[in-house]
Amino acid sequence: MKINIGTRRSELAQVQADTVISMIKEKFNIDSEKVLIETKGDKVLNVTLDKIGGKGLFVKEIEHEMLGNKVDMAVHSMKDVPYDVPSEFEIVAIPVREDVRDAFVAFNNISFYDLPKGARIGTSSIRRGTQVKILRPDIEIVPIRGNVQTRIAKIEKENLDGIILAAAGLKRLKMENIITNYFDPMEIVPAIAQGALGIEMVKDHVLLAMIKELDCYDARICVDAERSFMATLNGDCHDCIGAYAYLDNDVMHMLGVYRIEGKIVKKQLSGDKNDYMKLGVDLAKNILENS
Protein backbone atom coordinates (compact mmCIF):
# COMPACT_ATOMS: atom_id res chain seq x y z
CA MET A 1 0.00 0.00 0.00
CA LYS A 2 1.20 3.51 -0.80
CA ILE A 3 -0.43 6.76 0.37
CA ASN A 4 -0.65 9.66 -2.09
CA ILE A 5 -0.19 13.03 -0.43
CA GLY A 6 -1.26 16.18 -2.24
CA THR A 7 0.92 19.25 -1.79
CA ARG A 8 1.81 22.51 -3.47
CA ARG A 9 4.97 22.63 -5.58
CA SER A 10 6.96 25.11 -3.48
CA GLU A 11 10.05 23.81 -1.70
CA LEU A 12 8.54 24.65 1.69
CA ALA A 13 5.26 22.85 0.90
CA GLN A 14 7.22 19.79 -0.20
CA VAL A 15 9.37 19.85 2.95
CA GLN A 16 6.17 19.99 5.01
CA ALA A 17 4.74 17.03 3.10
CA ASP A 18 8.03 15.15 3.62
CA THR A 19 7.67 15.74 7.37
CA VAL A 20 4.28 14.01 7.34
CA ILE A 21 5.60 11.24 5.07
CA SER A 22 8.32 10.56 7.68
CA MET A 23 5.74 10.50 10.48
CA ILE A 24 3.58 7.97 8.61
CA LYS A 25 6.59 5.76 7.85
CA GLU A 26 7.86 5.88 11.43
CA LYS A 27 4.48 5.26 13.09
CA PHE A 28 2.80 2.86 10.65
CA ASN A 29 5.66 1.62 8.42
CA ILE A 30 3.71 2.71 5.33
CA ASP A 31 5.30 4.45 2.36
CA SER A 32 3.84 7.65 0.91
CA GLU A 33 4.36 9.62 -2.27
CA LYS A 34 3.95 13.32 -2.99
CA VAL A 35 1.58 14.49 -5.71
CA LEU A 36 2.48 18.06 -6.71
CA ILE A 37 -0.49 20.33 -7.42
CA GLU A 38 -0.43 23.94 -8.61
CA THR A 39 -2.97 26.15 -6.85
CA LYS A 40 -4.38 29.54 -7.82
CA GLY A 41 -2.34 31.13 -5.03
CA ASP A 42 0.82 29.78 -6.70
CA LYS A 43 -0.16 30.95 -10.19
CA VAL A 44 -1.12 34.56 -9.47
CA LEU A 45 1.91 36.29 -7.98
CA ASN A 46 1.57 39.85 -9.24
CA VAL A 47 -1.13 40.92 -6.75
CA THR A 48 -1.66 40.51 -3.01
CA LEU A 49 -3.80 37.60 -1.78
CA ASP A 50 -6.61 39.83 -0.52
CA LYS A 51 -7.16 41.07 -4.11
CA ILE A 52 -7.69 37.56 -5.58
CA GLY A 53 -9.80 35.83 -2.97
CA GLY A 54 -7.83 35.47 0.26
CA LYS A 55 -7.71 32.23 2.21
CA GLY A 56 -8.48 29.06 0.28
CA LEU A 57 -6.31 29.99 -2.69
CA PHE A 58 -3.75 27.37 -1.67
CA VAL A 59 -6.14 24.52 -0.86
CA LYS A 60 -9.08 24.32 -3.31
CA GLU A 61 -7.28 22.56 -6.17
CA ILE A 62 -5.87 19.99 -3.76
CA GLU A 63 -9.34 19.38 -2.29
CA HIS A 64 -10.59 18.81 -5.84
CA GLU A 65 -7.96 16.09 -6.33
CA MET A 66 -9.03 14.42 -3.07
CA LEU A 67 -12.65 14.33 -4.21
CA GLY A 68 -11.49 12.68 -7.44
CA ASN A 69 -9.50 10.08 -5.47
CA LYS A 70 -6.27 11.26 -7.07
CA VAL A 71 -4.75 11.86 -3.62
CA ASP A 72 -5.54 10.38 -0.20
CA MET A 73 -4.80 13.45 1.85
CA ALA A 74 -3.40 16.96 1.73
CA VAL A 75 -0.74 18.61 3.87
CA HIS A 76 -1.39 22.33 4.36
CA SER A 77 0.05 25.21 6.31
CA MET A 78 -2.91 25.68 8.65
CA LYS A 79 -2.70 29.44 8.29
CA ASP A 80 -3.73 28.96 4.63
CA VAL A 81 -6.86 26.98 5.53
CA PRO A 82 -10.16 28.91 5.77
CA TYR A 83 -12.16 28.40 8.97
CA ASP A 84 -15.13 27.15 6.96
CA VAL A 85 -13.67 23.85 5.71
CA PRO A 86 -16.11 22.32 3.15
CA SER A 87 -18.43 19.70 4.69
CA GLU A 88 -16.92 16.84 2.65
CA PHE A 89 -13.54 17.30 4.35
CA GLU A 90 -11.99 17.18 7.79
CA ILE A 91 -8.72 18.44 9.27
CA VAL A 92 -7.79 15.01 10.56
CA ALA A 93 -4.53 15.81 12.33
CA ILE A 94 -2.45 18.78 13.43
CA PRO A 95 1.03 17.48 14.35
CA VAL A 96 3.41 19.19 16.80
CA ARG A 97 3.61 22.91 16.03
CA GLU A 98 6.76 24.77 14.92
CA ASP A 99 7.80 28.26 16.05
CA VAL A 100 4.82 30.64 15.80
CA ARG A 101 6.82 33.88 15.57
CA ASP A 102 7.46 36.20 12.66
CA ALA A 103 11.10 36.80 11.77
CA PHE A 104 13.03 39.67 10.20
CA VAL A 105 15.61 38.92 7.50
CA ALA A 106 18.14 41.51 6.31
CA PHE A 107 21.21 40.76 4.16
CA ASN A 108 23.36 43.26 6.01
CA ASN A 109 22.30 41.72 9.34
CA ILE A 110 20.96 44.99 10.75
CA SER A 111 18.36 44.35 13.43
CA PHE A 112 14.84 45.59 12.70
CA TYR A 113 15.17 47.86 15.73
CA ASP A 114 18.32 49.50 14.32
CA LEU A 115 16.95 50.22 10.84
CA PRO A 116 17.38 53.77 9.55
CA LYS A 117 14.39 56.09 9.39
CA GLY A 118 12.26 55.43 6.30
CA ALA A 119 13.60 51.92 5.78
CA ARG A 120 11.79 49.77 3.18
CA ILE A 121 10.41 46.45 4.46
CA GLY A 122 8.88 43.79 2.22
CA THR A 123 5.77 41.81 3.21
CA SER A 124 2.58 40.76 1.45
CA SER A 125 0.75 40.43 4.78
CA ILE A 126 -1.64 43.18 5.89
CA ARG A 127 -1.32 41.79 9.43
CA ARG A 128 2.48 42.11 9.44
CA GLY A 129 2.56 45.47 7.66
CA THR A 130 -0.02 47.04 9.98
CA GLN A 131 1.74 45.89 13.15
CA VAL A 132 5.17 46.91 11.84
CA LYS A 133 3.83 50.44 11.28
CA ILE A 134 2.72 50.52 14.93
CA LEU A 135 6.25 49.62 16.04
CA ARG A 136 7.90 51.94 13.49
CA PRO A 137 5.51 54.45 11.82
CA ASP A 138 8.39 55.76 9.68
CA ILE A 139 8.92 52.46 7.85
CA GLU A 140 7.72 52.00 4.25
CA ILE A 141 5.93 48.71 3.56
CA VAL A 142 6.59 47.22 0.11
CA PRO A 143 4.19 44.43 -1.02
CA ILE A 144 6.02 41.27 -2.15
CA ARG A 145 4.72 37.80 -3.06
CA GLY A 146 6.27 34.47 -3.99
CA ASN A 147 7.89 31.55 -2.22
CA VAL A 148 10.47 32.01 0.54
CA GLN A 149 13.47 31.99 -1.81
CA THR A 150 11.79 34.44 -4.23
CA ARG A 151 11.02 36.87 -1.41
CA ILE A 152 14.56 36.67 -0.05
CA ALA A 153 15.92 37.46 -3.54
CA LYS A 154 13.67 40.54 -3.66
CA ILE A 155 15.62 42.17 -0.81
CA GLU A 156 18.39 42.95 -3.27
CA LYS A 157 16.25 43.07 -6.42
CA GLU A 158 13.82 45.65 -5.02
CA ASN A 159 16.36 47.49 -2.86
CA LEU A 160 14.69 46.54 0.42
CA ASP A 161 16.21 46.87 3.88
CA GLY A 162 14.66 43.55 4.84
CA ILE A 163 11.60 41.31 4.74
CA ILE A 164 9.36 39.61 7.30
CA LEU A 165 8.68 35.88 7.05
CA ALA A 166 7.29 33.17 9.31
CA ALA A 167 10.06 31.70 11.44
CA ALA A 168 8.50 28.24 11.02
CA GLY A 169 9.05 28.16 7.28
CA LEU A 170 12.68 29.26 7.56
CA LYS A 171 13.33 26.64 10.22
CA ARG A 172 11.72 23.88 8.16
CA LEU A 173 13.90 24.91 5.21
CA LYS A 174 17.00 24.82 7.47
CA MET A 175 17.47 28.57 6.86
CA GLU A 176 17.27 29.70 10.46
CA ASN A 177 20.80 31.14 10.14
CA ILE A 178 19.56 34.03 7.95
CA ILE A 179 17.13 35.32 10.60
CA THR A 180 18.30 38.69 11.90
CA ASN A 181 15.81 38.83 14.76
CA TYR A 182 12.48 37.42 15.91
CA PHE A 183 9.37 39.40 16.82
CA ASP A 184 7.82 38.54 20.15
CA PRO A 185 4.14 37.56 19.66
CA MET A 186 3.24 40.54 21.86
CA GLU A 187 4.92 42.88 19.33
CA ILE A 188 3.57 41.28 16.16
CA VAL A 189 0.71 38.90 16.87
CA PRO A 190 1.18 35.86 14.61
CA ALA A 191 -1.22 34.75 11.90
CA ILE A 192 -3.99 32.37 12.92
CA ALA A 193 -2.39 28.88 13.20
CA GLN A 194 1.07 30.10 12.16
CA GLY A 195 3.65 27.33 12.47
CA ALA A 196 1.05 24.54 12.39
CA LEU A 197 0.55 21.90 9.70
CA GLY A 198 -2.83 20.35 8.96
CA ILE A 199 -3.61 17.01 7.35
CA GLU A 200 -6.90 17.17 5.46
CA MET A 201 -8.90 14.17 4.18
CA VAL A 202 -12.36 13.39 2.88
CA LYS A 203 -14.54 12.36 5.81
CA ASP A 204 -15.22 8.79 4.69
CA HIS A 205 -11.62 7.91 3.78
CA VAL A 206 -10.61 4.39 4.81
CA LEU A 207 -7.34 5.66 6.39
CA LEU A 208 -8.92 8.50 8.36
CA ALA A 209 -8.89 6.79 11.78
CA MET A 210 -5.25 5.81 11.36
CA ILE A 211 -4.06 9.28 10.33
CA LYS A 212 -5.87 10.79 13.34
CA GLU A 213 -3.14 9.19 15.45
CA LEU A 214 -0.70 11.82 14.15
CA ASP A 215 -2.71 14.55 15.91
CA CYS A 216 -1.00 16.48 18.73
CA TYR A 217 -3.73 17.40 21.20
CA ASP A 218 -2.01 20.49 22.60
CA ALA A 219 -1.29 21.88 19.10
CA ARG A 220 -4.82 21.02 17.99
CA ILE A 221 -6.64 22.88 20.76
CA CYS A 222 -4.43 25.97 20.44
CA VAL A 223 -5.00 26.11 16.67
CA ASP A 224 -8.73 25.46 17.07
CA ALA A 225 -8.97 28.25 19.66
CA GLU A 226 -7.29 30.67 17.24
CA ARG A 227 -9.57 29.53 14.41
CA SER A 228 -12.65 30.03 16.59
CA PHE A 229 -11.42 33.60 17.16
CA MET A 230 -11.12 34.06 13.37
CA ALA A 231 -14.53 32.50 12.71
CA THR A 232 -16.24 34.74 15.28
CA LEU A 233 -14.77 37.83 13.61
CA ASN A 234 -15.42 36.42 10.14
CA GLY A 235 -11.79 37.26 9.49
CA ASP A 236 -9.43 36.44 6.61
CA CYS A 237 -6.39 37.97 4.94
CA HIS A 238 -8.35 41.04 3.79
CA ASP A 239 -7.45 42.88 6.98
CA CYS A 240 -5.27 42.88 10.07
CA ILE A 241 -6.18 39.81 12.16
CA GLY A 242 -3.96 37.58 14.26
CA ALA A 243 -4.13 35.35 17.30
CA TYR A 244 -1.84 33.20 19.41
CA ALA A 245 -2.90 30.61 21.97
CA TYR A 246 -0.46 28.75 24.23
CA LEU A 247 -0.73 26.44 27.22
CA ASP A 248 0.60 26.68 30.75
CA ASN A 249 -0.39 23.33 32.29
CA ASP A 250 -4.22 23.40 32.30
CA VAL A 251 -4.47 27.12 31.50
CA MET A 252 -4.71 28.46 27.97
CA HIS A 253 -3.51 32.02 27.35
CA MET A 254 -4.71 33.83 24.23
CA LEU A 255 -3.64 37.01 22.50
CA GLY A 256 -5.57 38.53 19.61
CA VAL A 257 -5.39 41.54 17.32
CA TYR A 258 -8.03 42.90 14.92
CA ARG A 259 -8.70 46.13 13.05
CA ILE A 260 -12.16 47.63 13.55
CA GLU A 261 -13.12 50.77 11.65
CA GLY A 262 -9.48 51.72 11.23
CA LYS A 263 -8.54 51.11 14.86
CA ILE A 264 -6.18 48.29 15.86
CA VAL A 265 -7.42 46.51 18.99
CA LYS A 266 -5.23 44.00 20.85
CA LYS A 267 -6.53 41.96 23.80
CA GLN A 268 -5.53 39.00 25.97
CA LEU A 269 -7.39 36.51 28.10
CA SER A 270 -6.78 33.22 29.92
CA GLY A 271 -8.96 30.31 30.94
CA ASP A 272 -9.38 26.56 31.31
CA LYS A 273 -7.83 24.82 28.30
CA ASN A 274 -10.89 22.52 28.10
CA ASP A 275 -12.92 25.59 27.10
CA TYR A 276 -10.58 26.33 24.20
CA MET A 277 -13.26 27.01 21.58
CA LYS A 278 -15.14 29.32 23.93
CA LEU A 279 -11.91 31.17 24.74
CA GLY A 280 -11.44 32.06 21.08
CA VAL A 281 -15.03 33.28 20.85
CA ASP A 282 -14.76 35.25 24.10
CA LEU A 283 -11.52 36.93 23.00
CA ALA A 284 -13.15 38.00 19.73
CA LYS A 285 -16.20 39.37 21.57
CA ASN A 286 -13.91 41.18 24.02
CA ILE A 287 -12.19 42.91 21.08
CA LEU A 288 -15.52 43.85 19.49
CA GLU A 289 -16.86 45.24 22.79
CA ASN A 290 -13.74 47.30 23.41
CA SER A 291 -13.28 48.73 19.96
Active site residue 80: yes
> Which of 80, 99, 224, 282 is flagged as catalytic?
80
| Strand, helix or coil for residue 1 | coil
Phi, psi at residue 203, to the nearest 5°? -65, -25
- Yes or no: say if 124 and 143 are a contact pair by the CB < 8 Å rule: yes
Distance of alpha carbon 229 from its chain centroid, rounded? Answer: 15
3-state class (DSSP) for residue 195:
coil
Q: In what order do the strands lie in the sheet with 263-272?
A: 241-248, 251-260, 263-272
Separation of alpha carbons 38 and 61, rounded Å: 7
Q: Which of 285, 291, 221, 228 is nearest to 250 (CA)?
A: 221
Q: How far is CA 103 from the centre of its chain?
A: 13
The SS3 call for residue 246 is: strand
Distance CA 159, CA 148 (A): 17
Q: What is the CA radius of gyration of the chain?
A: 19
d(Cα 208, Cα 251) in Å, to the nearest integer? 30
| DSSP element (H, E) containing 254 | strand 251-260
Q: Angle at Cα 85 formed by Cα 36 and Cα 13, nearest 5°? A: 25
Amino acid identity of 280?
A: G
3-state secondary structure of 22: helix
Q: Just list the catalytic residues.
A: 80
